[in-house]
Structure 1
């Protein structure tokens, strides 16, 4: 059993590793403008490039869940192997004059390997922190959010360098993150390894009513989150053009997405006082309201818009670690990793639908109204949570 003095270093190490490794997620989006120059005929590059990472993640999480990989093998070993392989696949998009099919395949494979990083990182945390898991996952998912935003920051400071440097940097950071976790984080004291593969394990949690309600709340959250992130540069560009302003879209995208890491941390801390479910419900309500208010705020002054986006960035992610902690709570110790993975799998499948829907709508309607459709997710998620509370 780990001592208290040892345990206090466990979470920071997992958080740092998660942050470094998840920088791969939006690496392609950060350099989208540069990549698009080689594919002039691809009008749906933003949606497709993002969706391929999501597709890969879904395929990976489905396989990881069905075969219960993070429950039957050492999670730390799974994490480092996936991190190293993902860093190599990420580099693939730097190859010169590659066909669009290869470009999409590399993003798919990168997403596939992320299935062994993000949910496995949560599994490792749950193996160390039986109590206060909401707070622990708050910091952990905050690392994911900051990692997702990080390529935009690298891009904003490397405008004078070739775009490939963003990809080189994220691949290097991912390899380092995987190795750090493998070296310093052994299997946790609360880990219970599965004895044999049971193909029914990945749907076992859905037999529990509380589990189902939390899962549907999470699905509503996911309908909104990644579409909000993916189309943020486009919406900011719309605002910039309409108001004839001059600001760094990459830097602002990083700040709006990255502030969500604070939302995760604060959400985890608040859940210690108000309960994870109540805190998640409040955060989901506020972010859903932001979807509805977005057309009004996109015609407002720049300071007001910034305040609005920062509030949205904070609340859009604050519920994520809380949903994950509740999923872990309502899962058995033997199937916890599998339950976290399958719920992630379904959640990310939903993100593809909302991203592709926004892609279609972006060609049909004014970008000012683009985000309104995202309110559907929080609304349905809230109905599931409130209905179970009665």
Structure 2
């Protein structure tokens, strides 16, 4: 969809990276604002979820009108920032609602929640793939309708769970806690390494498919395959969550991060493989690249001081999403200068850093 938007409006070569980064910046800003104002404690979480779903859907739909403007690119960046801002009232609030229903097995519960997030991320590619010539405006309109429906469903059918507790106000001193607690630092740094890779991979899956197709003379339904590759991550989230009940969150996060980092390093070889092998490789990468995410959240929550769990999660999420911005910009710059073989070699630094940082957690009891 972003490629179609870029071509139709004659946007700059780095527009895909910039538009994606605008969403990330909006999410960072929104998370900090919502935490500072203690929004989820002052209002019912389900109502916050609904309000933010409606506002995000509106900002998303308004992108359809930007071609009529004199400077559509700036408007698109602002609207995507707004979408990211209001997502801060959806994803973290959704995690809080889920945590209210589970006293034990949070890693498994978050596996289902993040798995649903992954499917939502992949959904635009599915719409585009089903209607191969579907205009990008139609895709945006459909996504806005789905967002509204999801917000209404949460507000109507998902009340606070029996274990929901009123959170403490946001405490900036949690930043000091992250870097003074060895276990919390290990889980946070592991998450940072994971985030360096995750959104960059998702953003460039379509371009990897196009690069392979052009090199080998293949014809792919790029949106359909992008959906399959990204949506496969739901299997990693749910499967990893189930395994975490037996083995703990740390081993699951460690080995999935190791597998996705290996996929980064394997790209210079995999890009030369025939279509079936290359597609299978991308699907496997899609499974591992996000399967560790819910386990890192569970580890951070489990290793944070009880009175600062919310603040620690907020800061770790904000730093993690901030890390995605230079990673996406870096690969966007490489994509304009180098063949696809080399795009993700610098991205492998993230998983390697995360693996080194979280080694001590493997010796801990299950999270």
Q: Decide whether aligned partners of structure 1 residues 197 and 287 sit closer, same or farther in structure 2, where only a CA change above 3 A counts.
A: closer
Give the structure 1 partner of residue 217 of structure 2: 244
Cα distance in 2 between the residues matched to 1:34 and 1:389: 45
**Is the CA contact 1:129–1:136 (under 8 Å) kept in the aligned structure 2?**
yes
Distance 1:113 1:280 in 2: 28
Mapped to 2, the partners of 1:263 and 1:388 lie a distance apart of 20
Does the alignment pair 1:39 with 2:12? no
Kept in 2, the 8 Å contact 1:192–1:334? The answer is no
Residue 73 (structure 1) shift: 3.5
Deviation at residue 49 of structure 1 after TM alignment: 0.9
Aligned residues: 360
Aligned residue for 2:326? 353
TM-fit CA distance, 1:77: 1.9
Paired residues of 2:97 and 2:160 also in contact (CA < 8 A) = yes
In the alignment, which of 68, 79, 83 is matched to residue 97 of structure 1? 68
Give the match for residue 16 of structure 1: none
How many angstroms apart in 1 are the aligned matches of 2:250 and 2:360? 13
Match of 1:5 in 2: none
1:128 aligns to what SS in structure 2? coil
The structural deviation recorded for 1:273 is 1.2
Distance 1:74 1:197 in 2: 17
CA distance in structure 2 between the aligned counterparts of 1:168 and 1:41, rounded to whole angstroms: 21
Pair 1:147-2:120 in alignment: yes
Deviation of 1:201 (Å):
5.1
Q: 129, 132, 135: which one pairs with 1:159?
A: 132
Using the alignment, how far apart are the partners of 2:81 and 2:132 within structure 1? 26
Residue 168 of structure 2 contacts residue 308 of structure 2 at CA under 8 Å; is this kept in 1? no
Mean CA deviation greater in 134-143 or 306-315: 306-315
1:285–1:201 Cα change, 3 Å: closer
Aligned residue number for residue 338 of structure 2: 365
CA distance in 2, matches of 1:345, 1:85: 21
Query: Partners in 1 of 2:259 and 2:169 — Cα distance?
Result: 43
- Contact 1:44–1:359 (CA<8 Å) still a contact in 2? yes
Contact 2:36 2:169 in 1 (8 A): no
Deviation at 1:354, TM superposition (A): 0.4
Report the CA distance between 1:160 and its aligned residue: 3.6
Contact 2:304-2:312 at 8 Å conserved across structures: yes
How far, CA to CA, are the matches of 1:196 and 1:159 in structure 2? 47
Sort the Cα spacing of 1:205 and 1:182 in 2 relative to 1 into closer, same or farther, 3 A: farther
Partner of 2:142: 169
2:94 alignment partner in structure 1: 121
- 8 Å contact kept, 1:73–1:193: no
2:32 matched residue in structure 1 = 62
Decide which moves more: 364-373 or 213-222. Answer: 364-373
1:315 equivalent in structure 2: 288
Name the SS of the counterpart of 2:132 in structure 1.
coil
What corresponds to 2:242 in structure 1? 269
Distance in structure 1 (CA, Å) of the matches to 2:334 and 2:163: 47
User: Relative to structure 1, is the Cα distance of residues 76 and 338 closer, same or farther in structure 2, using a 3 angstrom cutoff?
Assistant: farther
Whether the 8 Å contact between 2:170 and 2:311 is mirrored in structure 1 is no
Q: 1:297-354, CA deviations, whole angstroms, 9 ceiling, x for partnerless residues? A: 1101111112211111111111100011112222355543333232111111101110
Partner Cα separation in structure 1 for residue 307 and residue 60 of structure 2: 33
Alignment root-mean-square deviation, CA:
1.8
Inter-CA distance 104–277: structure 2 relative to 1 (3 Å threshold): same
Structure 2 length normalisation: TM-score?
Answer: 0.93
Q: Is the 8 A contact 2:172 2:311 kept in 1?
A: no
Q: Does 1:187 align with 2:160?
A: yes
Aligned match of 1:18: none
The C-alpha deviation readout for 1:27-65, integer Å capped at 9, x for no partner, is xxxx11321234325111111111111111111112223
Corresponding position of 1:12: none
Return the alpha-carbon distance in structure 2 between the equivalents of residues 280 and 171 of structure 1.
33
- 1: distance between equivalents of 2:148 and 2:178? 33
- Mapped to 2, the partners of 1:254 and 1:372 lie a distance apart of 23
Task: Tell me, yes or no, if the aligned pair for 2:209 and 2:220 is still in contact at 8 Å.
Answer: no
Residue of 255, 263, 279 corresponding to 1:290:
263
Q: Cα gap change, 1:357/1:198 in structure 2, threshold over 3 Å: closer, same or farther?
A: closer
**Structure 1 gap segments, 5+ residues each:** 1-30
Deviates more, 1:377-386 or 1:69-78: 69-78
Pair 1:139–1:133, CA change in 2 (3 A): same
